[in-house]
Amino acid sequence: MDQQTLDHLRADPALEPYVREFGPLELDPAEDTFERLIVSLLRQQVSMDAAAAIQERLFDAVEVTPAGILAAGAATLQDAGLSEAKTEYVRAVAEAYQREGYDRQYFAALGDEAVVDELTAIHGVGPWTAKMFLIGC
């Protein structure tokens, strides 16, 4: 965390006690933006325990890459625990990654609002998921 950000957080009366107690927050961005976005989709509207179980089954069943997700049939994804809707969402993300050539460099060249706009254009990716992507990637 840079000094300007830390000073900004310290100036906020609600956050200052936490900054004083815990110090700067360090976030390591996810190495694989596709995998991170898929995990965010899995976590939508389910408990963390359910999401973790689905994630484990999905990662065991398929290679979690755009090509791996697209090569897996809907039945394989649903057997891993994805609903019909989430199956559509992860496949839409995989298609967008392949079509647009998304990677870390692609997104790094965009501002936050442009990343949110780009991701929310994908079926199943809402503003919350796009913003979580920004935080995690």
State how far the Cα of 125 lies from the Cα of 40, in Å rounded to an integer.
Answer: 9
Q: Residue 78 is which amino acid?
A: Q
The percentage of the chain sitting over the pLDDT mark of 90, rounded to a whole number, equals 78
**Residue 2, pLDDT score:** 77
Helix then strand then coil, % of the chain, to nearest 5: 70, 0, 30
State how far the Cα of 129 lies from the Cα of 126, in Å rounded to an integer.
Answer: 5
Region label for 30, one of left (φ > 0), alpha (ψ between -120 and 50) or beta (otherwise): beta
Give the chain's length: 137
pTM, to two decimals: 0.82
Contacts of 22 (CB under 8 A, 6+ apart): none
Domains of the chain, with CATH numbers?
1-28 (no CATH), 33-136 (1.10.340.30)
**What are the tokens at 61?**
């069943």
Q: Is the pLDDT of residue 60 over 80?
A: yes
**Residue 130, pLDDT score:** 96
